[in-house]
Structure 1
Amino acid sequence: MKRHNFRKLKIWEEGMNIVEETYRFINNFPDFEKYNLASQLMRCAISIPSNIAEGTNKSSKKHLNTYLETSLGSSFEWETQLTIAYRRNYIERKQFLQLSKKIEQLQKMISGFQNGLSLKS
């Protein structure tokens, strides 16, 4: 299998953007959320591009796909936690809608990349 340079992958770059966005918006969370929701959001955000990067170094499409699955799972977990933050009024509606759109686009991109792997071969 041809290995991918993760730094050149759009899905990795968009995952890194989610990390940056997360660092920005959790600063407005209440102090008691530092080790709760804020921490969980950061772990999920960091997991997205990290698993993409790690997967690109694997020796088969099947292994790469496993890491992409983990990355995708982290993105859905992050989206759920974003919704919790919105429902707790930690972020405003406009920001919530913008971030929701970004994560949904990234989820589609990761799924599209997986489909392009053509695991049948």
Structure 2
Amino acid sequence: MITSYKELKVWERSDELAFRVFDLSETFPKAYLYDLTSQLRRAALSVPTNIAEGCASFHSGELLQFLNVSRRSLSETHYLVYFASRRKLIQHSELLELEAIAEEISKMLNALAKSIRRKKNQK
């Protein structure tokens, strides 16, 4: 059983993604502050936050729900980074880096959820 979200590599990587998104969005023009910047930051921060919140649950079903929310927030983050790239707010190389991290996190979330479901079904 997971004793702390901090022991999960997927949380660590998603925390890193959130930090990078925050740093990157510091350069966005003020005109984007209340829409794109705010939404991108909330989505990116939601990924590790939902992993952490799910790990506080005593029930595997609840943890799976939080991992699902985390996966959806990751997808939202991925799109918003792509959108920012199309608006020329981030460089293409930054887009590729963040996409690679997001893909890695997605695979890790899927593997963790699969493992939890398997253990849940063995009971």
* Residue 59 (structure 1) aligns with: 58
Structure 2 residue 110 is the aligned partner of structure 1 residue 111? yes
Match for 2:82: what amino acid? T
Q: Give unmatched runs, 5+ long, in structure 2.
A: none
Q: Please report how far the alpha carbon of residue 41 of structure 1 lies from its aligned counterpart in structure 2 after TM superposition.
A: 0.7
* Residue 9 (structure 2) aligns with: 10
Q: Please report how far the alpha carbon of residue 4 of structure 1 lies from its aligned counterpart in structure 2 after TM superposition.
A: 2.9
Could you tell me the TM-score, scaled by structure 1's length? 0.95
Decide which structure has greater helix share: 2
* Residue 69 (structure 2) aligns with: 70
* Residue 20 (structure 2) aligns with: 21
Q: Which digits, 9 at most, give the CA deviation of each residue in 1:42-98, with x for residues without a partner? A: 101110011000101112111100000000000000001011000100001111111
Could you tell me the TM-score, scaled by structure 2's length? 0.93
- Percent identity among equivalent residues? 28
Distance 1:84 1:43 in 2: 15
Q: Please report how far the alpha carbon of residue 19 of structure 1 lies from its aligned counterpart in structure 2 after TM superposition.
A: 1.1
Distance 1:70 1:45 in 2: 12
Runs of 4 or more consecutive aligned structure 1 residues displaced over 2 Å after TM superposition: none
Q: Give unmatched runs, 5+ long, in structure 1.
A: none
Residues matched between the structures, number: 120
